[in-house]
Amino acid sequence: MKQAVKRLIPSQLKQHLGGLRLQFKSIPYRVGNDVECPICGTHYKSFMPFRYRNNAYCPTCKSLERHRYIYLNLRDNLGFYAAPRKKVLHFAPDICLIPSIVQNPFIEYITADYMTSFTSSITIKPDYVMSIDNILFPDETFDLVIAIGILVMVPNDAQAIREVFRVLKPSGYAIFHDPINLNQPQSFSDANLTPDEKQKLYHGHDQRWYYGADYADRLRAQGFAVETDTYAQQIDAKRYGISPNERIYVAKKG
């Protein structure tokens, strides 16, 4: 009965009700100033839980830990929001990053995603439906490609990395971010895992790769130059709800 009623509610209304429920649930978190979202400027007692993690989700802009870290890196470390003008391709566009990007006069912004069932809580409908391992743009088109949590889902991730390399301009770079266990020396794919092992390693999520300490080497193997990112140790990571071990992989073509 409950399911039948749910099916009768239009999806826009469902989304609106979901938003109201989230704002109501967020009230206890909003009483306090122990953490702050750098993207939307809202402060909280703590961020809200997200899946199995506490202190993770900003109910105002929908950012997670990785988004806040990537935003700070883009803004303060990489000069992303400043001149010169740049052409950017963003896979699985993260909803919390979009307002700052589309308002910026120096960014020509193109979004893409392969999935047709978008995770409405953190991503939005893209400009192009295409896979990162078959990018529908000519060589040397973009100054920057952003791929957050994408490679981990792609069966042939080496092909995807080569495609990103191909569409970047000679001075361009890509930002990759995926779940990585640095205590695991070698990456491996899900083909080697039992369902129980997948549950344990992926917390029930459908991902193709279990990445280890060789992640940067996998990018280098396709031609990129990659330096170790230590920016998380230079910021007030606790204030922004970011692990001091968090890192992104800035992969330079030139």
Task: Name the one range near Zn ion by CB under 5 A: 3-11, 12-20, 39-47, 216-224.
Answer: 39-47
Altogether, the residues listed in the chain come to a count of 254
Under rule CB under 5 A, which residues in 55-94 are in contact with Zn ion? 58, 60-61, 63
Shortest distance in whole angstroms from residue 63 CB to Zn ion? 5
Q: Identify which of residues 60 and 73 has a Cβ nearer to Zn ion in the complex.
A: 60
Shortest distance in whole angstroms from residue 39 CB to Zn ion? 5
With contact defined as beta carbons under 8 Å apart, do 250 and 173 qualify? Answer: yes
- Picking from 205, 145, 206, 215, the residue whose alpha carbon sits closest to that of residue 178 is 215
- Distances in Å between the Cα of 96 and the Cα atoms of 61, 70, 74, 123 are 5, 11, 13, 8
Q: Identify which of residues 63 and 131 has a Cβ nearer to Zn ion in the complex.
A: 63
Q: Identify which of residues 39 and 89 has a Cβ nearer to Zn ion in the complex.
A: 39
- Picking from 117, 148, 155, 110, the residue whose alpha carbon sits closest to that of residue 133 is 155
35 binds Zn ion (CB under 5 A): no
Applying CB under 5 A, the site for Zn ion has a residue count of 7
Q: How far is the C-alpha of 206 from the C-alpha of 155, rounded, in Å? A: 12
Q: How far is the C-alpha of 102 from the C-alpha of 107, rounded, in Å? A: 7
**Structural element, H or E, at residue 188:** strand 188-189
Q: Identify which of residues 36 and 229 has a Cβ nearer to Zn ion in the complex.
A: 36
How far does Cα 164 stand from its chain's mean position? Answer: 16
39 binds Zn ion (CB under 5 A): yes
Q: Identify which of residues 39 and 92 has a Cβ nearer to Zn ion in the complex.
A: 39
Shortest distance in whole angstroms from residue 58 CB to Zn ion? 3
Looking at 29, 36, 37, 65, which residue binds Zn ion (CB under 5 A)?
Answer: 37
Binding site for Zn ion (CB under 5 A): 37, 39-40, 58, 60-61, 63
